[in-house]
Amino acid sequence: MDVVEGCVDIINRAQFPDADVWIAALQQGVSEAFISIFISQLSMLNCLRLDYEFLKSGYADKMVKHALLSFSSFLQGVLSIFSRLQKVDYGRHNHDSPSYIHKWLFNDLRGYDKNKFIAWLCLPSLQRFDTHYLVLTGVTGLERRQREEDIKLNLCGLQTLFLTRSKIPEQDIFFLLSQTPSLKNLHLGPIYERHDQPALELVSDTVENLSIGVEYYSCCGECEEVEDDKLREEGLESWEPFRGILKRFTNLQNLEIPIYVIFGTVTTAAADFDLVAALPETLRKLCLRNDPCQLQDCEMKTGSYILDCVHAFLTSRNWKSATPFLRNICIRLCPYAIFKISDPDDPESLANSEKQLSDVCEREGIEMEVYKHEYSVPIGDWIPAGGCCYA
């Protein structure tokens, strides 16, 4: 029996509902189909990493959904139910930047079957889940689908959740986080149009490491709907809730956040911005980034401005009582050429601001890191790797 015949035999015995589609893909040599069937036989699998091509093809989604949510395949034992699979990294290494059309939909994922994805959230032993470029816009809410389809999410043991460049309705984020009572590490990087529900409050008592990377802002002009001045103004206002919510985190130790989320979209004098009122008492490391993509109608904050804001914070009278455990401050700056900004930092001003902040950090016992990146800033790097799968 050759490889194709062996895969077809598994498909037939497992009673795949779309067997004809699978068999045609195998006969055409679609590698994602072959690999997905191979994975379906790995009952001892602990860690799985699938690149962006699997997200586009959807074969892994279909296989996992059939293995976990199909009664017939479970009875026959033809497919693994992945009882030991703890870590999944899904959709990384997209070598071509995704393109955006109206409402920020991904051109190359418009044929993606979004309904299959929920099966990954049903893995019985899932502890870490990283997903990239996921689009769930327009599908029925996760909560309703779980109820109507009798789907049981298994997220009680999930400790790390990494969502980057994912278009997921906020009500689904709200429901998803409500199912994660053990969550400690969270990178939330979706493409939002508005922020209407305080989803982060649901994990404010458990999360220790939080990274926020809202890659496409509601005021960025990518969508026709925000070309109107009134709608654009509403988009800017939608970021206000992020300022106060950080104070509600009771165990937060490491925070990585774009400056527009914590500082707002309108430039205030650095000395007047109150970081003391924004940061939680338990914080040990603060990382600020200035990396929004294609930002329009927002005042671009220079590196000097960010450094001066942190300097004002560390020279205030009550920063130690507000954040007594703070030991590390990291600032990540992207070159303004990336954003085609005509008014970049004056090199001398930037150097002076960095020197002043360095002196204050040394005096206060704070480790300071300043990075100037030539490319998009890597996000969530501080989240614990937790195994060889993420080496």
The dihedral over CA atoms of 228, 231, 232, 237, expressed in degrees to the nearest 10, equals: 160
In the chain, the number of structural domains is: 1
At 271, give phi and psi (nearest 5°). -70, -20
Does residue 388 belong to any structural domain of this protein?
A: no
Asked if residue 291 belongs to a domain, the reply is yes
SS3 assignment, position 331? strand
Range name among 53-62, 184-193, 226-235, 253-262 with the lowest pLDDT average: 226-235
d(CA 145, CA 160): 23
DSSP states of 262-325 as a string? Answer: HH-SS---GGG--STTTS-TT--EEEEE---SS--SSPPPPHHHHHHHHHHHHTSTTHHHHSTT
**Looking at the predicted structure, is the pLDDT value of residue 243 above 70?**
no
Bridge partners of 287, per DSSP, are 256, 330
Of 126-135, 231-240, 260-269, the one with minimum mean pLDDT is 231-240
The 3-state DSSP class for residue 142 equals helix
Compute the average pLDDT of residues 228-255. Answer: 68
What residues make up the domain containing 260? Answer: 230-377
Residue 325 lies in a domain: yes
Contacts of residue 32, defined as CB under 8 A and 6 or more positions apart, other chains included, come to: 25, 53, 54, 57, 59, 60
Averaged pLDDT for residues 147-176: 80
Q: What is the pLDDT of residues 58-116, one digit of tens each?
A: 899 999 999 988 866 555 789 999 999 999 998 876 655 444 443 444 444 444 555 66
Grade residue 146 by pLDDT with cuts at 50, 70 and 90.
low
- Checking if the pLDDT of 310 tops 80, the result is yes
336 lies in some domain? yes
- Residue 151's SS3 state is coil
Residue 34 within a domain: no
Q: Is the pLDDT of residue 225 over 90?
A: no
Band (346; pLDDT cuts 50, 70, 90): confident
Compute the distance between CA of residue 379 and CA of residue 87 in angstroms, rounded to an integer. 19
Q: Within 13 Å of residue 71, how many CA atoms lie on the same side as its CB?
A: 3
Provide mean pLDDT across the span 258-262. 76
- Helix 59-69 vs helix 31-39: angle between axes, to the nearest 10 degrees? 30
Tokens 């900004």 -> residue: 341
195/235 Cα distance (integer angstroms): 9
Least confident of 79-83, 193-197, 247-251, 366-370: 193-197
244 lies in a domain? yes
| Residue 108, pLDDT score | 43
Highest mean pLDDT out of 191-200, 236-245, 313-322: 313-322
pLDDT value, residue 136 = 54
In a domain, 334, yes or no: yes
Angle at 373 between CA 350 and CA 195, to 5 degrees: 95
In a domain, 335, yes or no: yes
